Amino acid sequence: MKNINLTKLALAVFFLLPFGEAGRGFTQSLIRGPYLQSPGQNSIILRWRTDVATDSRVNFGLTIAANTTTTDDATSTTEHRVKLTGLSPKTTYYYTIGSTSSVLLGPDSLLHFTTAPDTTIPNSFRLWAIGDFGHGNQAEADVRDSYLRLAEKEKPADLWLWLGDNAYSDGTDAEFQTKVFDSTFGYGNIFWNLPFASTSGNHDYNSICPWQPTFCNENPENHSGPYLDIIDPPIHGELGGVPSNRKLFYSFDYGDAHFVSLNSELGSLVSSYNWLGLFNSDTSFTSPMLDWLKADLAATTKKWKIVLWHQTPYSGQDNFTDDGVQQFCVASRVHFNPIIEKFGVDLVLVSHDHNYQRTFLINGHYGNSSSFTPSMKINGTSGKEDLGEPYIKYKNGPMKDKGAVYVISGNASEGNDYSPISHPAIYWGEACGTCFGSFIVDINNDTLRGRYLASDDTIADYFTILKKTYVSPEGIEEQKVLGNFTVYPNPSPGKYLVDFSLKKKSTVRIDVLDAIGKVVYSQNKTTLNPGNHQLTVDLEKSNFAAGNYFIRLDCEGVSFKKVVKKE
């Protein structure tokens, strides 16, 4: 679908408004939206704001012309909310909005939505994530436009993720209006056809809790404000997940993925309101949010698990997550990370630090950067599939579900220009006063690809996570391609020659696993012709301890040879 023409927003409103309620003696103007919330396989919510209160009507259908199905809400309001039900999965519908008296906006080629994929069949979809946007500046517009160019060149996103600090500086309704909903520097009619799911940041909280920006000493059950008024997430388990019954944090399913939005702003000096665990290093700490998180992740059976919150647990700029100032970041790492890693979360999206950074595939690091050890890297390579180094997450076996990639995407409207990035968990990052961007995720069945889209259209970083079935070294698998397979000398100080023959042309990849099945060495995937071949595996480097290893040869099926590395 061709995506966005921002100028159409103004044109459509200008031409359509005079025909609104004119016959009844007044004109209703569209102030905000429409925008889309809670996209399900069979339902979606449309929201919009008008200056004059009326009832609400959405007409929709499979083509622009045939939008003849109608859903009404009789409540007279300026804050319109209509939930459409009975929809088909992964189906595009065109719509108009208005009242029972008149159409306020549409029909228009940009007024459409697509329902979530059918989870009973392999599915694919695209995410667009932005963090720390809402400054209402040229950088925000540049990041937006780089996404639009990618959408035009490839395809648009299916779901939009907001990573917090959504409207600067205080998350007021006026700031959301001018810096987010507006089309000059904000996102204009992207809202018309791209549903968003979000988390709150500390700046949004400046209008939610009167005790902010330092500590929120207000009962979370009473939190209210512009951000919470704007969002309309499925908090009662309507779209999967355990009901949170609060907009503060929630979960939902989309395709074969489970999404969790956590709230890293619920740190308080009042212990009963301290749901984040701020200033609390007790690993047994719990709270209504953490109890819900455990129950929610334990219950999901979705293949992919993606969690978003705002305050980053890792950052390599100026000891950002080590020092005493960023205690919300520290608390998120101490209390969120052990839970999400226990339940096999694949990808964490955060912001707060105004740059892009991302980790290796890691597990088990809950302290300051100095406590990070190499063993916490489940895979310490680039994660780049074209280099033969995708991150593998096993569906079974001793390394089942181990490892997550943490992405900071916090430069959608402002960049940090202080020290170089240095943190042992971070694979790469970009930080400067003029470095802006957003993050694209493509999920296709067993493959997740993440890309950092800089505002100049450069793909400055990328990685792939593959879900694979683990085959035990003791297992036997019928080989259709592989002929002979020998490894020698064995034992050896670390250098092994791998002789093998192929019955037909095949891609070949060699990995070395340690005794518990963790991949410790990989060779690039290559395509070889039928016949005899020899490759070398070199474990002589000092970081490979003496002991038992398994050389795994993957050529459309896997075979193992146990080898011993001598002292």
Site of interaction with Fe ion (CB under 5 A): 165, 201-202, 352
**Nearer Cβ to Fe ion, position 50 or 351?**
351
Smallest gap, in angstroms, from Cβ of residue 165 to Fe ion?
4
Where in 117-249 does DSSP place strands (E)? 124-130, 159-162, 196-198
Give the 3-state secondary structure of residue 444.
strand
**Nearer Cβ to Fe ion, position 156 or 201?**
201
Q: What is the CA radius of gyration of the chain?
A: 26
Smallest gap, in angstroms, from Cβ of residue 524 to Fe ion?
39
Q: What is the 3-state secondary structure (H, E, C) of 41-94?
A: CCCEEEEEEEEEEEEEEEEEECCCCCCCEEEEEEEEEEEEEEEECCCCCCCEEE
Whose CB is nearest to Fe ion?
352
Smallest gap, in angstroms, from Cβ of residue 423 to Fe ion?
18
Smallest gap, in angstroms, from Cβ of residue 168 to Fe ion?
10
**Nearer Cβ to Fe ion, position 45 or 216?**
216
Residue 422's contacts (CB-CB under 8 Å, 6 or more residues apart) are 316
**Nearer Cβ to Fe ion, position 201 or 344?**
201
Smallest gap, in angstroms, from Cβ of residue 267 to Fe ion?
13
Smallest gap, in angstroms, from Cβ of residue 311 to Fe ion?
7
Q: Looking at this protein, which amino acid is placed at residue 481?
A: V
**Nearer Cβ to Fe ion, position 227 or 470?**
227
**Nearer Cβ to Fe ion, position 203 or 377?**
203
| Separation of alpha carbons 338 and 348, rounded Å | 13
Paired tokens of 88: 């088909």
Smallest gap, in angstroms, from Cβ of residue 183 to Fe ion?
25
Paired tokens of 430: 């970009």
Q: What is the DSSP letter of 118?
A: P
Smallest gap, in angstroms, from Cβ of residue 170 to Fe ion?
12
**Nearer Cβ to Fe ion, position 201 or 240?**
201
Smallest gap, in angstroms, from Cβ of residue 8 to Fe ion?
33
Paired tokens of 206: 């400046």
**Nearer Cβ to Fe ion, position 147 or 328?**
328
Give the 3-state secondary structure of residue 262.
coil
Q: Do you know the residue count of the chain?
A: 567
Bridge-based pairing of strands 257-261 and 519-522 is: unpaired
**Nearer Cβ to Fe ion, position 177 or 202?**
202
Residue 208's contacts (CB-CB under 8 Å, 6 or more residues apart) are 171, 200, 216, 223, 224, 225, 226, 227, 228, 265
Q: Is 174 exposed, middle or buried (0-12, 13-18, 19+ CB in 10 A)?
A: exposed
Whether cis (ω within 30° of 0) applies to the bond prior to 117 is no
| Separation of alpha carbons 165 and 310, rounded Å | 8
**Nearer Cβ to Fe ion, position 165 or 253?**
165
Smallest gap, in angstroms, from Cβ of residue 212 to Fe ion?
11
Q: What is the 3-state secondary structure (H, E, C) of 306-332?
A: EEEEEECCCCCCCCCCCCCCCHHHHHH
